[in-house]
Amino acid sequence: MKTFGITILLTSLLVSTPVSAQTANVDQRVDRLEQEMRAVQRKVFPGGSTRYFEPEITAQSGPASPATAITTSAVTDLIARVDALEASLANLTGQVEENGFRLKKIEDKLAAAETLAASPAAISTNGSAPIAGSKAPQQAPSAAAPDPQRVVGVAAIVMPDSGDAAEDAYIYGYRLWDAKFFPEAQAQLKKMVEEHPGHPRASFAQNLLGRAYLDDGKPALASVALYENYQKRPRGERAPDSLYFLSTALVQLGKQADACRVLAEMQDVYPEVANGRLADRVTAGKAAAKCK
C-alpha cells in the first residue's frame, strides 16, 4: 500500500540505529497518524479505493547519511512537522464529519420530497398543498385523449395525387371541411395558403378557411381570414364570396352596421357577382344584418 511522504521520510531517518527516547516517541506518533489517516481515507474514499495523496515531503537523492548524523535540531524540526500533520489531520477529520452531517440533511429532505410527490393527495387542484381536513383529489387531471373514432375518420380522408401540389392541398382541405373535421381542415387550408400564396386555388383555400372557422363557431377568426382574402386577392375568384361570409361573421359578432357596409362594398366592387351568382345570399345577408 502506498504511504504518505511523511512516513517515507521518518522511515529513512529513524530506522537505521536506536536513537533517543524523543525519537522513539516521534515514531509512535507517526504510527498513530498513519492509522488515523488510513481511517480518514477510508471514509473519504470508501470501497477500498487505492487513491492516496502524493507525498509532499520526499527524501533527497544521494547517498544515505549515517544514523549518527541525526542531531537534536533535526529531531526537533521533525517533531514540529509531525505537530503540523496532526493539526491538519484534525482539521480534515472535522471537515469530513461536517460534510457528512450536511449530506445527511440533504438526503433527508430529498427523501421527504419524494415521499410527498408520490402521495396521490399531495397536491390539490389549484397546485397548493391540501388543507387539513379537506379531500384531496385522487389524481391530477390529465389532457383529454384523442377520440379514436375521429382519428380513424381523419385517417380515412385521402389526399389526392394529381401532380399539382397546390391543387391537391386545397382538395384535401375541402374534403376535411366537407366531412366536418373543422380543426383539421383549418390547419390544412392555412398550410396550403402559406405554401402556395400565388396559386389560383389560394383564393378558394382562404375563403374556405373562413367558412371552416364560421362552422366551428369562431366568427372572430373567420372575419380575419375572410377580410385578408379580399384584401390580398381582390381579383381572386372567391373574393366576392369572402365579403358575403365576412358579413355573416360580423352579424354573429353583433356588428350589423359593419355587415351592411361590407355588403354594400360587395355590390359596388363586384356588381355582376352580387346581382348574379350571389344575389340570393346578398338578399339573405341584408335581412340578417337588418340593412335599410
pLDDT in the model for residue 244: 97
Residues 53 and 172 in one domain: no
pLDDT in the model for residue 292: 87
Residues 11, 7: Cα–Cα separation, whole Å: 6
Residues 112 and 161 in one domain: no
Residues 193 and 98 in one domain: no
Residue 100 lies in a domain: yes
Residues 218 and 101 in one domain: no
What DSSP string describes 111-146?
A: HHHHHHHHSTTSS-TTSSPPPTTS---SS---PPPP
- Cβ atoms 185, 212 nearer than 8 A: yes
pLDDT in the model for residue 13: 43
pTM of the model: 0.52
pLDDT in the model for residue 283: 96
pLDDT in the model for residue 140: 43
Boundaries of domain holding 84 = 5-57+69-116
Total domains, the chain: 2
**What is the CATH classification number for the domain harbouring 232?**
1.25.40.10
pLDDT in the model for residue 21: 54
Below-70 pLDDT ranges, the chain: 1-27, 30, 34, 37-75, 77-78, 82, 86, 89-94, 96-97, 100-101, 103, 105, 107-144
What's at 267, amino acid-wise? Q
